[in-house]
């Protein structure tokens, strides 16, 4: 399923209340402070961490392929009187009106690109949108298989209208050759006025470190540094890393 189709309808509605991890804005604020502005978040979703960065007065635009997620972001920003500028586009087909000193993604967003060809197109688009001397920050994740005990177990929350919200892993498959993990998720919303249920496949595609560096080089980007998410040195076998990229000379 295309990521733009995945994050629609009930999934977009339940994403915020049921997400398992909140994105810490500090690594991205520190990156922007070092790299400069304007900045661009790719895959900004419903506004985390973009809204917190805007609260701090940072000049950050956002891009996401899901209209429903961007609608939620705009509503959240409007409730605070917070001005935002966001665009509905795919990161592999960016066509934005300005260039950026800092381009970044948060969490496993880059892993949502389904294959190496799409990832290469995204890296080329990033290269095109970097201002002279600009830097990109790409978090890369090696997804861990869902523990057997967690398959079928629901994560729950209560919606603003009192609805009971649930999400659970129904099944999961992993292909080491294509470097993809497909998790079938079941989203449920129960309310006296009406209930809804949907199942959608969530596909993550991962990269070897050497393979990602090769893609970056083909896109005209040099690796300027690889760290742990907290900024410390990354071990060779680290499952989560932050890769900084600059335009090749």
pTM: 0.94
Same-domain status, 123 and 221 = yes
Please give the structure tokens belonging to residue 113: 């690109």
pLDDT tens, position by position, 168-189: 999 999 999 999 999 999 999 9
The pLDDT tens digits of the residues spanning 203-231 come to 999 999 999 999 999 999 999 999 998 88
Asked if residue 116 and residue 63 are part of one domain, the reply reads yes
213 and 194 housed in the same domain: no
Q: Tell whether 72 and 130 lie within a shared domain.
A: yes
CATH code, 51: 3.40.50.150
Counting the structural domains of the chain, the total is: 2
Distance CA 239, CA 223 (A): 18
**Is residue 131 located within the same domain as residue 22?**
yes
Residues 43/37, Cβ–Cβ less than 8 Å = no
Q: DSSP 3-state helix, strand, coil percentages of the chain (rounded to 5)?
A: 30, 35, 35
Q: How far is CA 43 from CA 84, 90, 132, 177, in A?
A: 15, 8, 23, 26
Residues 191 and 156 in one domain: yes
Nearest to 113 by CA among 222, 223, 219: 219
Residue 124 lies in domain: 3-142+208-247
């Amino acid at each position: 399923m295309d990521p733009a189709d995945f994050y629609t309808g009930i999934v977009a509605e339940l994403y915020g209340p049921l997400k398992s991890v909140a994105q810490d804005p500090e690594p991205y604020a520190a990156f922007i402070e070092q790299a400069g502005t304007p900045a661009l978040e790719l895959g900004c979703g419903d506004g985390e961490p973009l809204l917190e960065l805007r609260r701090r007065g940072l000049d950050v635009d956002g891009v996401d392929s899901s209209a429903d997620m961007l609608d939620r972001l705009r509503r959240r920003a409007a409730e605070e009187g917070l001005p935002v500028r966001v665009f509905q586009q795919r990161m592999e087909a960016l066509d934005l009106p300005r260039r950026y000193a800092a381009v970044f993604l948060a969490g496993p967003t880059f892993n949502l690109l389904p294959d190496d060809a799409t990832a290469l197109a995204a890296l080329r688009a990033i290269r095109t949108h970097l201002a002279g001397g600009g830097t990109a920050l790409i978090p890369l994740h090696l997804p861990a298989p869902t523990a057997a005990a967690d398959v079928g177990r629901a994560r729950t929350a209560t919606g603003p209208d009192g609805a009971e919200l649930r999400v659970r892993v129904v099944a999961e498959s992993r292909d080491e050759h294509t470097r993809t993990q497909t998790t079938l998720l079941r989203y449920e919303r129960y309310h006296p006025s009406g209930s809804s249920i949907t199942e959608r496949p969530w596909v993550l595609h991962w990269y070897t470190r050497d393979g990602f560096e090769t893609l970056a080089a083909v896109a005209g980007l040099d690796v300027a540094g690889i760290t742990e998410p907290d900024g410390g040195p990354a071990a060779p076998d680290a499952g989560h890393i932050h890769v900084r990229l600059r335009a090749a000379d």
